[in-house]
Structure 1
Amino acid sequence: MKFSPALVSGRLVRRYKRFLADVILDSGEAITCAVPNTGSMMGLTDPDSRVWLSTSDNPKRKYRHTLEIVEADGGLVGVNTGLPNKLAEEAIRAGMIGDLADYADLKREQKYGQKSRIDILLGDPEKGLAYVEVKNVHFMRTPGLAEFPDTVTDRGARHLDEMADMVRAGHRAVMVYVVQRGDCETFSLCHDMDPAYCAAFDRATACGVEAFAVQCQISPEEITPVRTIRILE
């Protein structure tokens, strides 16, 4: 996924109210930008961190800029949780995630479960339906190990239970964790941050829900899914 128009860069002043950040652009201009991330972004909000932002000319937007990438741990990390669905679709179509590329149809944001929407719904006359739930991953405490979640996510746990319901109904269900950083070789659930989510994951996988983690390469020009990485138990 290429960024167009090109991202602009600057230095982070602070993140606050969860969805806002103050940034000094390289031009010297001080701006407030949108932060499309509901997580804690632990380790990614240090003052003076180098950041990259997309720019919108939509006059209806309150904030023209959106935080996309943060430099941390010597590399670049994608923080926009609105991008992983597109990245997961790219990975599926490229044949990176099991046999998901073999399904005939791919639809985004389809209603299912209890007032929920599945990120990607795959359909095929022979294979049937496959429900694909996508999560963004950018948390790393141990070098090389990506973790999810970085905060409590009741919604995420509910989605896992609804995915298990789809398996019980005779369909296929797949969790895809999109790791928006190129410095992680493995992926693990973060038990100390949200034990309830991890318990829901165990229930779901015991029921037959599959799970994959997809690593991305990040640059100010593009974010590209490159391979699946091992999920640790």
Structure 2
Amino acid sequence: MRFATPLVSGRLIRRYMRFLADVALDGGEVVKVHCPNPGAMTGLKEPGLRVWLERNDDPKKKLDWGWRLAELGGGHWAGIDTAVPNRVVAEALAARTIPELGPYASHRAEVRYGTRSRVDFLLEGPGRTYLEVKNVHLRRTDDWAEFPDSVTARGTKHLQELSAMVAEGHRAVMFYLVQRTDCARFRLASDIEPAYATAFDAARAAGVEMLCYGTRIDRDGVQLSGPLPVDPLPQSRGLEGGRISP
């Protein structure tokens, strides 16, 4: 996935009201930008962080700038836009560059399934594969990428919906895309969202496949890279009353 226009750099002043941020451009101008990320953004919203913005020329949009990347130091990057993973995976599906998903004749996006839900992608022929995609950009310890960074009842529902598809005889896959380049493995942030960890373990036991891929990120865009290992241990282990027990 390539950005439509060249990115412009600045320093983050603050992120607020979930979808807004103030940024001081390198030339000194302070601009209000759209933050396309409703999550907690732990570690990615500190004042002074070098960020990269994309200019918006659409007169229908209220803000002239969109926040796209954060520079992490050491040559590493993080993608901010939570819509990017679906675009990256869509390109990979079209190019058939995710070998774990196997052969398929066609794929469609946003197909109705389950209980008033839409699956991110439905792969068909042979059989059906229901594919959900999640954005990952939380890192707290060592080189672990973690999900989620906030409570997600919607994410828990998706795991339950995928489990139901397996029970009906279909294949179901949860695909975690890590939008930062300083992680080498994946696990759940069970202390942040115990209910999701419990649903994850139940879904994996039911036959839902858990895949994680990393990304290559630079000022030109975000591209799919290789697979990252998913922690094989139960993710809800040590949880008591919604907290990690000692």
- Do both proteins adopt the same fold according to a TM-score greater than 0.5, normalized to the shorter chain? yes
Q: Tell me what 1:116 maps to.
A: 117
**Counterpart-to-counterpart distance in 2, 1:140 and 1:91:** 25
Deviation digits for residues 66-125 of structure 1 (CA, Å, limit 9, x no counterpart): 11111225321001001101112233434334033x11101111111111111111111x
What is the 5 A alignment of 1:197-212? Answer: 197-212=196-211
Aligned sequence identity (%): 46
| Structure 2 residue runs without a partner (length 5+) | 234-246
**Counterpart-to-counterpart distance in 2, 1:213 and 1:39:** 19
Q: Tell me what 1:145 maps to.
A: 144
Contact kept? 1:176, 1:211, Cα under 8 Å: yes
Give the RMSD, CA atoms, in angstroms. Answer: 1.2
Q: Tell me what 1:230 maps to.
A: 229
One-letter code aligned to 1:60: K
**Counterpart-to-counterpart distance in 2, 1:89 and 1:204:** 24
Shift of residue 65, structure 1, vs aligned partner:
1.1
One-letter code aligned to 1:173: A
Shift of residue 135, structure 1, vs aligned partner:
0.3
SS at match of 2:214: strand
Q: Tell me what 1:39 maps to.
A: 39
**Counterpart-to-counterpart distance in 2, 1:116 and 1:38:** 20
Shift of residue 8, structure 1, vs aligned partner:
1.3
Shift of residue 144, structure 1, vs aligned partner:
1.2
Which deviates more, 89-98 or 157-166?
Answer: 89-98
| 1:29 is the counterpart of 2:29 | yes
Question: How many pairs align?
Answer: 230
SS at match of 2:36: coil
What is the 5 A alignment of 1:77-156? Answer: 77-92=78-93, 93-100=95-102, 102-124=103-125, 127-156=126-155
Q: Tell me what 1:9 maps to.
A: 9
Which deviates more, 219-228 or 64-73?
Answer: 64-73
State the TM-score, normalizing by the size of structure 2. Answer: 0.90
Q: Tell me what 2:184 maps to.
A: 185
State the TM-score, normalizing by the size of structure 1. Answer: 0.95
Q: Tell me what 1:66 maps to.
A: 66
SS at match of 1:122: strand
Deviation digits for residues 117-154 of structure 1 (CA, Å, limit 9, x no counterpart): 11111111xx2111100000000011311000011101
Contact kept? 1:81, 1:136, Cα under 8 Å: yes
**Counterpart-to-counterpart distance in 2, 1:62 and 1:176:** 32
**Counterpart-to-counterpart distance in 2, 1:203 and 1:136:** 21
SS at match of 1:21: strand
One-letter code aligned to 1:55: R
**Counterpart-to-counterpart distance in 2, 1:77 and 1:154:** 25
Contact kept? 1:96, 1:228, Cα under 8 Å: no
Change (3 A) 1:73 1:141: farther
Q: Tell me what 2:19 maps to.
A: 19
Change (3 A) 1:169 1:137: same
Change (3 A) 1:73 1:191: farther
**Counterpart-to-counterpart distance in 2, 1:156 and 1:99:** 21
SS at match of 2:228: strand
Contact kept? 1:97, 1:228, Cα under 8 Å: no
SS at match of 2:229: strand
SS at match of 1:139: coil
Deviation digits for residues 173-215 of structure 1 (CA, Å, limit 9, x no counterpart): 1000000111111000111110100111111111110010010
Change (3 A) 1:112 1:227: same
